[in-house]
Amino acid sequence: MKKLLSIGALLGSLTTIFCCFLPALFAVLGFGAVFAGLVGSFPQMIWLSEHKLLVFLGAGAMLGIAGYFQLRAGRTACPIDPKLAEGCSTAKNWSKRIYFAALALYALGFTFAFILPKILA
């Protein structure tokens, strides 16, 4: 269950990138034709952009739940056996890295979807 939530949080934060960051990045760099081709290949990107509030609420909820489980898992002790302890420690470190990467992607998408339009308008 925890793995599923972590994967869901990462995928949810990636959807925020596709809905809001990539279109802005392509527009700024002058790659409008590339973006048009991307949307032609993946028309679901339009749905993500049209329903960005729902996308961000869902991704934020998954990140919150995953963060709770991340906090709980960080407080548990690793086994005494050196090999198992090393594996446990490695898994905890990777889990933290992936979670913080998902948070960074979410923050980047949130900035491009909600903050920059208010500042630049």
pLDDT tops 80 at residue 105: yes
Q: State the Cα angle at 25 between 12 and 118, rounded to 5°.
A: 80
Asked if 13 contacts 103 with a C-beta cutoff of 8 angstroms, the reply is yes
Cβ density class 36-47: b for 16+ within 10 Å, e for less: eebeeeeeebee
pLDDT tops 80 at residue 51: yes
pLDDT band at 86 (very low <50, low <70, confident <90, very high): very high
The two structure tokens encoding residue 5: 């939530």
pLDDT at position 2 is: 65
**Which pLDDT tens digit goes with each residue over 53-79?**
998 898 899 889 888 988 888 888 888
| Percent of the chain scoring above 90 in pLDDT | 2
**Which pLDDT tens digit goes with each residue over 17-41?**
777 777 877 877 888 788 888 888 8
pLDDT at position 7 is: 75
pLDDT tops 80 at residue 108: yes
What number of other Cβ atoms are within 10 A of residue 100's Cβ? 12
Query: What is the pTM assigned to this prediction?
Result: 0.78
Which residue ranges make up each domain of the chain?
2-120
Element (H, E) at 36: helix 32-41
The two structure tokens encoding residue 2: 């925890």
What number of other Cβ atoms are within 10 A of residue 79's Cβ? 11
Asked if 23 contacts 49 with a C-beta cutoff of 8 angstroms, the reply is yes
pLDDT band at 1 (very low <50, low <70, confident <90, very high): low
